[in-house]
């Protein structure tokens, strides 16, 4: 039997700290809301733009590693309203097969009716077979390792079934009824993330989940029920806009809040695995207007924060900074003047580390550190990496077990995690092999992990059969790498 790995890695590079990479200037004409780094180093971007450089791209585009538009990804007329005016793609996720799922405020995509959700093929064309129906905007997406999709937004029904602000879809776009949040949320989530055990962290504007008090942050079990072991108590006093998971189960949250319960926590905080506030993490962010709109944990345990703010630890940091693991300002990462300009000068919306340690930053700005670059920039930084299968395929005889090696590249200073699972190829779980799903945790300095797939013996004479292997949900600042050769 042959087991085929679906994902792998690239080599990292040493970088500097905080300066603009002036070789990367895509040039969007309006706000960029979300960015995702593909395993091949290309960058997916979504937002309210209509052009990138000289290319028409409405709401979604793919950028090559050098900043040029990837012309092999052509979304046609892109996202629009019912009358054909350009509209917003708020968020996107990348499937392991290269297809891209979009969520936003649009009602059409490439002139085909697709209200608030659409899936594109790897070339940017609309996937005509993916037709979920939601009744209002989608602002948050999270992809599980098994390919199922969590969605959050202003909607109340999905495919005609009541689902208040949160739901899970199967890979074909049908509603996953095994995930039932009951009466759901009383307001929209703004951010979703999947932990290695399948539990779902949500942050947003809500104050109750299925009738249970959960103020602006909560954890749901894999079936959609409220996790009673995760409780933020009185919770943040204003909305949570962003969250980022740590491999140890802690969660960094950012938003407009200044207190969590009676304790002062200005715009960013870290929650323990039970939802209580981690008092050892004490950032000092100041602003006259705005908040923290983006957070991203890094390989070494440090945390990027972005949004609309002025200082950190009384030092100038306009809209972007890197914090140490205790929340203090990392002064080795220098952002001289940060972001400015844009449609409304709202600062940084999203952060995405690359495998080589450089970090992508998008939002509502037209200059960064004094360099004109329009809504998306790449900064020089020092922490990145990938997780990948060590081989593209593994062979084992019936009655044996395949030892599957997964390796980590790049910085190994901190702890990172990744999920793995088996997927039927020509072989079938139970009949031919024992299905596997779990998580691998790489500690500091660890570069190699393994898991085992037992292959079952039977009396039938059969040709060689295959099982697909997949990695997903990397946590801790690493990304998944591309498929490697045998």
Structural domain for 460, as ranges = 386-480
379 and 395 in a single domain? The answer is no
296 and 407 in a single domain? The answer is no
Q: Please provide the DSSP assignment of 273-284 as one string.
A: TTS-B-TT----
**pLDDT of 1 above 70:** no
pLDDT digits (tens, 9 = 90+) for 397-446: 888 999 999 999 999 999 999 999 999 999 999 999 999 999 999 999 99
- 307 assigned to some structural domain: yes
CB 207 within 8 A of CB 239: no
Computed over every residue of the chain, the mean pLDDT equals 93
Confidence band (pLDDT; 50, 70, 90) for 31? very high
CB 41 within 8 A of CB 357: no
314 and 365 in a single domain? The answer is yes
206 and 336 in a single domain? The answer is yes
145 and 56 in a single domain? The answer is yes
With a pLDDT cut of 70, the percent of the chain lying above it is: 95
Looking at residue 10, its pLDDT comes to: 30
pLDDT digits (tens, 9 = 90+) for 125-179: 999 999 999 999 999 999 999 999 999 999 999 999 999 999 999 999 999 999 9
Window from 7-16, 247-256, 261-270 with minimum mean pLDDT: 7-16
**pLDDT of 12 above 80:** no
Other Cβ atoms less than 10 A from the Cβ of 40: the count is 12
242 and 305 in a single domain? The answer is yes
Looking at residue 9, its pLDDT comes to: 32
- 417 assigned to some structural domain: yes
- If you average pLDDT over residues 322-335, what whole number do you get? 95
- 341 assigned to some structural domain: yes
Looking at residue 486, its pLDDT comes to: 30
241 and 336 in a single domain? The answer is yes
- 252 assigned to some structural domain: yes
pLDDT digits (tens, 9 = 90+) for 40-65: 999 999 999 999 999 999 999 999 99
178 and 310 in a single domain? The answer is yes
CB 390 within 8 A of CB 3: no
H helices then E strands: how many in the chain? 0, 47
Looking at residue 461, its pLDDT comes to: 57
Of the residues 338, 363, 384, which one is the last residue of a structural domain? Answer: 384
- Extract the tokens encoding 96: 């392991």
Of the residues 384, 409, 441, which one is the last residue of a structural domain? Answer: 384
pLDDT digits (tens, 9 = 90+) for 365-408: 999 999 999 999 999 998 999 999 998 888 888 889 999 999 99
Identify the CATH number of the domain in which residue 422 sits.
2.60.40.2030
358 and 450 in a single domain? The answer is no
Q: For 484, which DSSP code? A: P
Using the structure block, give the residue that is written with the tokens 């890094």: 298
Total of domains in the chain: 2
- 463 assigned to some structural domain: yes
What does the longest C-alpha to C-alpha distance in the chain come to?
73
307 and 394 in a single domain? The answer is no
Q: What is the pTM assigned to this prediction?
A: 0.93
Identify the CATH number of the domain in which residue 259 sits.
2.130.10.10
Of the residues 350, 384, 418, which one is the last residue of a structural domain? Answer: 384
Nearest alpha-carbon partner for 151 in 45, 224, 71: 224
Strand order in the sheet with 268-271: 240-245, 251-255, 268-271
378 and 409 in a single domain? The answer is no
- Extract the tokens encoding 216: 């602006």
- 258 assigned to some structural domain: yes
- 6 assigned to some structural domain: no
Looking at residue 213, its pLDDT comes to: 98
- 8 assigned to some structural domain: no
Looking at residue 393, its pLDDT comes to: 85
85 and 184 in a single domain? The answer is yes
- Extract the tokens encoding 366: 């037209």
Strand order in the sheet with 108-109: 79-80, 108-109, 112-113
Exposure pattern of 179-210 as b/e (b: 16+ CB <10 Å)? bbbeebbebbbbbbbbbbebbbbbbbbbebbb
């Amino acid at each position: 039997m042959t087991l085929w790995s679906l994902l792998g890695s690239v080599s990292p590079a040493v970088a500097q700290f905080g300066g603009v990479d002036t070789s990367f200037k895509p040039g969007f004409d309006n706000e960029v809301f979300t960015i995702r780094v593909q395993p091949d180093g290309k960058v997916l971007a979504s937002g309210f733009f209509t052009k990138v450089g000289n290319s028409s791209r409405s709401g979604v585009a793919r950028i090559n590693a050098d900043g040029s538009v990837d012309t092999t990804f052509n979304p046609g007329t892109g996202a629009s309203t019912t009358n054909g005016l350009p509209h917003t793609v708020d968020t996107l996720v990348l499937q392991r097969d290269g297809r891209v799922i979009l969520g936003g405020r649009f009602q059409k995509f490439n002139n085909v009716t697709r209200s608030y959700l659409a899936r594109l093929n790897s070339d940017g064309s609309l996937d005509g077979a993916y037709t979920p129906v939601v009744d209002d905007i989608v602002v948050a997406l999270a992809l599980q390792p098994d390919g199922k999709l969590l969605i959050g937004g202003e909607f109340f029904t999905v495919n005609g079934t009541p689902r208040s602000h949160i739901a899970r879809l199967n890979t074909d776009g049908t509603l996953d009824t095994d995930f039932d949040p009951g009466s759901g949320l009383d307001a929209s989530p703004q951010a979703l993330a999947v932990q290695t055990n399948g539990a779902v962290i949500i942050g947003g504007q809500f104050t109750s989940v299925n009738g249970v008090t959960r103020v602006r942050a909560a954890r749901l079990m894999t079936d959609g029920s409220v996790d009673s072991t995760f409780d933020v108590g009185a919770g943040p006093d204003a909305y949570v806009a962003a969250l980022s998971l740590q491999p140890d189960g802690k969660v960094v949250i950012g938003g407009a809040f200044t207190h969590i319960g009676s304790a002062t926590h200005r715009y960013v905080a870290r929650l323990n695995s039970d939802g209580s506030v981690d008092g050892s993490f004490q950032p000092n962010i100041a602003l006259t207007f705005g908040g923290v709109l983006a957070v991203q944990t890094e390989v070494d345990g440090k945390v990027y924060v972005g949004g609309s703010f002025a200082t950190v630890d009384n030092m100038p940091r306009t809209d972007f900074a890197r914090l140490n693991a205790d929340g203090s300002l990392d002064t080795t990462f220098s952002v001289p003047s940060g972001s400015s300009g844009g449609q409304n000068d709202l600062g940084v919306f999203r952060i995405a580390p690359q495998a080589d340690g450089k970090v992508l930053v998008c939002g509502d700005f037209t200059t960064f550190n004094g360099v004109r670059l329009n809504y998306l920039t790449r900064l020089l930084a020092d922490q990145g990496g990938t997780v990948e299968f060590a081989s593209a395929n593994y062979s084992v005889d019936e009655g044996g077990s395949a030892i599957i090696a997964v390796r980590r590249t790049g910085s190994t200073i901190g702890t990172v995690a990744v999920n793995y699972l088996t997927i039927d190829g020509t072989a079938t779980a139970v009949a031919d092999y024992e299905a596997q799903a779990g998580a691998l945790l790489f500690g500091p300095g660890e570069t190699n992990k393994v898991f085992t797939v037992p292959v079952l013996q039977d009396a039938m004479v059969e040709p060689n059969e295959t099982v697909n292997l997949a990695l997903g949900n990397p946590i801790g600042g690493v990304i998944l790498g591309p498929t490697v050769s045998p």
